[in-house]
Structure 1
Amino acid sequence: METQLDPEVFFRANRQLVVNIQAVKEVTPYFKGRLYLLLEPAPEGDQIISSGKANAFKEWLDM
């Protein structure tokens, strides 16, 4: 299913989460190069982007 999603609109944040760009309300630096996401609607638990994916996520958001 992921291959059918538009990569300009959706990003694989981690194994459990695919993020829609419109759901991203805030991105905050987190420990050791990771990023903390505030999403709306908010899924359960903390949403963290790994340090390995942080740069790709920033480029995806055009940060």
Structure 2
Amino acid sequence: MSDDKRNTGTPDRDRINLSEDYEVQYWTQALGVSEDELREAVDAVGSTSEAVRNHLAQRG
């Protein structure tokens, strides 16, 4: 499923889409992680930003 750029409400902002380079760049900077760390976190807990934040906070 592609990222609908017209859908800018909360559900779209709460998800991390690893298929979009600009989103990967945004989230790696926002979370202070590498792309590999971001991809591993999304693989582990899913694409919701809250789950990824919690996962990254628990690892370190």
Which TM-score applies when normalising by structure 2?
A: 0.29
Q: Which has more helix, going by share of residues?
A: 2
Which TM-score applies when normalising by structure 1?
A: 0.28
